[in-house]
Amino acid sequence: MVCPSNLTTATAFLLYLAILLNLVSAHNFSELFQCNWAPDHFVDEGDQIKLTLDTASGSGFGSKRKYLFGKASVQIKLVEGDSAGTVTAFYMSSDGPNHDELDFEFLGNLSSEPYLVQTNVYVNGTGNREQRHTLWFDPTIDFHTYTLLWNHYYIMFLVDGVPLRVFANKEEATSVLYPKNQAMGIYGSLWNADDWATQGGMVKTNWSYSPFVSTFQSFKVDACEFSPENGTVIGKCSKVSQYRWDKSAMNGLSKHKEEQLRRVRENHLVYDYCEDTVRFPEPPKECLN
């Protein structure tokens, strides 16, 4: 590495260390993931993988391991042009009907309309916690980073490091269950959902634009790999405070993150289940302060 002459030795070293750490934390796709759905619609280009969707099928991938608490991120470039009816997803999920799940779902739309990103949290098989946001950029032009952060205190959905949504652990105060006992895999997929994805299903997928393509790259996982014994939560994943994402200092947002979240809600939130009095005449307990 050649350092610019105007950097001090210490500054140059810190810059080099930051670059090195970033490189170390990025994983090759095949290290952690594998195609688990329609391999003929899955394209592995080494540093990138592409999922395709046509009238025959969509495609998807999943992690080889499961994790209990941690941080997972990926860069995605979404379907370009008229993507109505399509859904690109990046999510974590456990197995079984009473599963836990954390969702990023990117809802395609007509070319003249913005993408919507829907987030959802399932606990013990129960979801219905949708929020929808617009984004402050066109996610089809370039790659952007989408991150799921899951610790004992909260679940945070981030876009390019900016918090889009926070789901706090209020289990002790409200008895609302929080995901903490089921290890989750990490997944990505592209599929057809024109029965609901675009304008409530009124706009259908225009297959003349297929195949639709979403591209993923820069996979990063910093999480506690789960190794169950007798099906119980034991070992290092039951006490994970040694990880930087689960230390006591991470039990709340910084003032900067709180301000970012406030601005996102003011300018980009278009639906919040907590404010839907038709579906929920009485607000869900976790929505109460």
Asked about 259 being catalytic, the answer comes back as no
Asked about 80 being catalytic, the answer comes back as no
Tokens of 28: 């090759």
Active-site choice (31, 45, 80, 105) = 105
Strand (E) or helix (H) holding 264: helix 255-268
User: What is the layout of strands, in order, in the sheet containing 116-122?
Assistant: 33-37, 59-63, 185-192, 86-93, 101-107, 116-122, 131-134, 269-272
Quickly list DSSP for 72-128: EEEEEEPPPS--TTEEEEEEEE-SSTT--EEEEEEE---TTS--EEEEEEEBTTB--
Active-site choice (45, 101, 172, 282) = 101
Report the distance separating Cα 91 and Cα 99, nearest Å.
Answer: 13
Q: Which residues have a catalytic role annotated?
A: 101, 105
